Amino acid sequence: MECSINNQQDDYPLGEELISLLEKVLQEAAAMEGVGPGTEVGLTLVDDAAIQDLNRTYRGIDAPTDVLSFALEETGPGEPAFVDPGVDRLLGDIVVAVPTAARQAQNYGHSLARELAFLTVHGFLHLLGYDHGTEEEAARMEARQEAILARMGLER
């Protein structure tokens, strides 16, 4: 899978090692979900103001959030919620707010790297059609997130 990672924030310096980890996390998530090698995904790291603007524009919520996913294959009412991961295509974009991730990492007592990896995987699974609108959906998504992070040695 081809990953494009773009750091558009200056609040937190992110070294090559951390950017490389995020790419590896995306590659592992893709492998575990059976995503084809010709698939593409974008990850953009932003500040709180940028994600607040996106959240307001696309979700009608005028507040920062931690992660947003913009799938190119949105499903509508009555359509299956899970797209075929084996088909080569551009999945979409994941946007992560680094300052929010840093606050959450501190609150949860783990590293910024672990929180950014978690949010990246969370956003990636949304691109594949996972959701957490019901308890059952949330449990399924959480299990996949934790399995992927565990494979990368990023358990809680």
pLDDT at site 81? 43
| pLDDT tens digits along 100-152 | 999 999 999 999 999 999 999 999 999 999 999 999 999 999 999 999 999 99
Mean pLDDT computed over 7-33: 96
Q: Please identify, in words, the CATH class of the domain defined by 2-151.
A: alpha beta
| pLDDT tens digits along 50-105 | 999 999 999 999 999 999 999 987 654 444 444 565 666 789 999 999 999 999 99
Please report the DSSP string for 87-108 in residue order.
Answer: S-SEEEEEEEEHHHHHHHHHHH
Residue type, 64: P
The Cα–Cα gap between 81 and 144 comes to 16
The Cα–Cα gap between 23 and 67 comes to 16
Q: Which of 73, 58, 52 is nearest to 9 (CA)?
A: 52
Mean pLDDT computed over 29-51: 95
pLDDT at site 65? 98
Does 75 or 20 have the greater pLDDT score? 20
Check whether 132 is labelled as a binding-site residue: yes
Instruction: Write down the pTM of the prediction.
Output: 0.91
* 10 and 61 Cβ atoms separated by less than 8 Å: no
pLDDT at site 82? 47
Task: Retrieve residue 42's tokens.
Answer: 């974008």
Domain segments of the chain as ranges: 2-151
